[in-house]
Chains A and B, each alone.
Chain A
C-alpha cells in the first residue's frame, strides 16, 4: 500500500526534473514525501508558516511570474480558511495553482470537526473553472497530480490520509476521461469517489454472491465532470446508488442528481452521504460510517432494500446519532 502523499510528491518530483518553474508551498505541514522533495529541490519548497490566506495570495503572485505552484496542507484548512484568496486571487485569474489537500472526508476522524473535510466539495465546487480531483489510490493520485500540472489552471486534489490497496494496476489509464468503470453489472450502478470506491468494489462483490450484478463507477474527477461519459455508462442501468464521505450539498450525490436531471436520464437515483452536522467529540472514521449508513453492511442492506422494494427510506432519515452532534 502506498501513501497518497508519497505518490503526490513523487509526481511533483518527476515534474521538477523537467520543469524548474515549479514551486511547492506549505502552511508548515509535514510529509515524508515533502521531506524527500525538499532534500532534492530545496529552492523549490517554501514553508509559508501558519498563515493560509497569505499563502494563497503569495501562490497567486508566484504563479503570475510564470510558475506552477503546488500548495500543500490539511484539506479543511486549505480550502475554507482561505477560500476567498483561492477563489479570487487564483481561480478568477485562471492561474496554475494546484491545491493538494490531505485528509479528505473523515480521514482525520477522531481529530474532530476542525479537521473534517466534509463540506469542501460544496464550497470548492462552486468556483468556476476549478478542476477537482479525488483519487482512490496511489496510482491514480500520481496520475491526477500530473494531470493537474499539465492542464495549466487551478486544481484541487483531495488526498486521503490513510493508505489504501491499489485499485489501478498502472498509470496507463486515460485519466482525461474523468471516471472509470471498475465493474460492469446490469442491475445497478454504484457510484463513488475517493476511498469509498474501495467499499463500492466490496459491495459489488457481496451483491454478486447474492446474484445482483452491480457496476462500479469511480468518479475521480468531480469537476468538470464527464457528464456525457457518465450518462452513457448509466443509460441502460435502472438504479444508481451514490455514496460518499461528504455532506449532501455540492457533493458527489448532489452532482449525480444534477447530471441525471440535466441529461433526462431515466434512472432511479439514491444517495448515501453524511448528514449536515458537525461531528463534535471523538469519532473514528469507521464509527461515523457505521452511524451514517456508509459501512459495508449498511450499504449492502440499502441496496438489497432498493432492489426488493422500490419505496425504501434512506437510513439517514431514521438515523439515530449516538455521538455528540450539533443540530
Chain B
C-alpha cells in the first residue's frame, strides 16, 4: 500500500474515532489519535499477519493493545477491515454492545482483555515463550502507552523477555509524553527511556511515530529477525494528533469537544478523509 493510501486510512480512522466518540458521548479520543499511524502501518502496511475472515487463524501474529484506552483506533480499524460490521461502531459503550470503553476478546480481532495498564507485555511474553516452544513462526506485537511504562509490571516483563531472548516479541511504546492528567516527565520521569530499555537488554529503535516510512522500516527490520533479543520501538508521537486544539494538551485525555468545536473538528476530519479519497480516485 502506497503512502497516500496509508494517509487516507489514517484520515479515515481519525474521522471515525471522533465520530464514534461523539455519537457515544464518551471515549478516549486523544490517546486513540496518537497511535493512528502505528496502527495503519501495522494493519494496512502488511507488517502484521492476520485474516479478517478468520480472526483465530492459528498462524496469525498476535497484536495486544496494552494501552486498552486507545481502543477507538482499533475498533474503527477492525470495522474497516471487516472483523466487525461498520454499523457496530455506533453501539460503542451502549448497553449490550461488544464495544466497551476498553477492549475484550469477545470482539473478533481482539486477543486479550486490556484496560488496566501494565498487563500486556507480560501476556505477550507468555505468547512468545509458548510460540517458541511450539517452534511457531508467528510474532507478538504489544502496543504500550508511555505512561504505562510507569507500571513496575512492565519492567518485570521486560526483564523476563530479555532474559529468555524472546526475539519474536515486539513492543511499541506510544511515546506521546502525556499521561492521564499531565506530562510523564513531570509526574514520574521516564527518561532516559531508550537507555532504560537498553539496560534491560532490549534492542531499541526510536522513530517518528507519525512517519509511515520510519515505522515501516522499523517493522520490516523486526520481521527480518537479525536481532537476538526482544525489540522495542519508541514511537515519538503527539497525543491528540490531527486536531490542533487537542494536540499536546494534558486536559484532553478523556474529554470530548462540544458545540461548535465538535462540529468544526468533525467537519475538518471528514473533509480531510474526503479530499484524500478524491485524490486517490483521480
Contacts and interface: CB of A to CB of B under 8 A. Distances in A.
A67 interface: yes
A155 interface: no
B120 to A, nearest CB: 8
Contacts of B104: 92
Nearest to A65: B130
A62 B160 contact: no
Contacts of A58: 122-123, 125-126, 129, 157, 160
A280 interface: no
Contacts of A2: none
Interface string A48-91: 11010110111111111111000000000000000011001100
B124 interface: yes
B116 A62 contact: no
B42 to A, nearest CB: 20
Contacts of B131: 65
A46 B166 CA distance: 15
Given A57-B119, A93-B112, A93-B113, A62 B157 contact: no
B116 A53 contact: no
Nearest to A53: B153
A53 B130 contact: no
A300 B111 CA distance: 54
B122 A57 contact: yes
B160 A67 contact: no
B156 A61 contact: no
Contact of A65 (B127, B152, B157, B160): B127
Contact of A62 (B111, B112, B129, B153): B129
Contact of A53 (B105, B122, B133, B134): B122
Contacts of A59: 126
A88 B126 contact: no
Nearest to B132: A65
Nearest to B158: A54
A53 B123 CA distance: 10
B112 A54 contact: no
A127 to B, nearest CB: 14
Contact of B126 (A43, A61, A84, A92): A61
Contacts of B125: 54, 57-58, 61
B216 interface: no
B27 interface: no
Contacts of A54: 122, 125, 153, 156-157, 159-160
Contacts of A67: 130
Interface in B114-153: 116, 118-119, 121-131, 133-134, 152-153
Q: Which of B126, B128, B131 has the most C-beta atoms of chain A within 10 angstroms of its own C-beta? A: B126
A167 B237 CA distance: 63
Query: Chain B at the A interface: mostly helix, strand, loop or mixed?
Result: helix
Find the residue from A48, A54, A84, A92 having the highest chain B CB count within 10 A: A54
B166 to A, nearest CB: 10
Contacts of B163: 49
B113 A92 contact: yes
Nearest to B126: A61
B124 A49 contact: no
Interface in B227-263: none
Interface string A138-160: 00000000000000000000000
Given A53-B152, A58-B129, A67-B130, A84 B122 contact: no
A87 to B, nearest CB: 9
Interface string B148-187: 0000110011011001000000000000000000000000
Given A53-B153, A58-B122, A88 B129 contact: no
A23 to B, nearest CB: 8
A89 B157 CA distance: 14
Most A CB contacts (10 A, CB to CB) among B104, B127, B159 go to B127
Interface string B10-24: 000000000000000
A61 B163 CA distance: 17
22 contacts: A46-B129, A49-B159, A49-B163, A51-B159, A51-B160, A53-B156, A54-B122, A54-B153, A54-B156, A57-B123, A57-B125, A58-B125, A61-B129, A61-B130, A64-B112, A65-B133, A67-B130, A84-B119, A85-B122, A85-B153, A88-B116, A93-B105
Interface of B: 104-105, 111-113, 116, 118-119, 121-131, 133-134, 152-153, 156-157, 159-160, 163
Given A58-B122, A61-B130, 17 more contacts: A51-B156, A53-B152, A53-B153, A54-B153, A57-B125, A57-B157, A58-B157, A58-B160, A59-B126, A61-B124, A61-B127, A64-B112, A64-B130, A65-B133, A67-B130, A85-B122, A88-B119
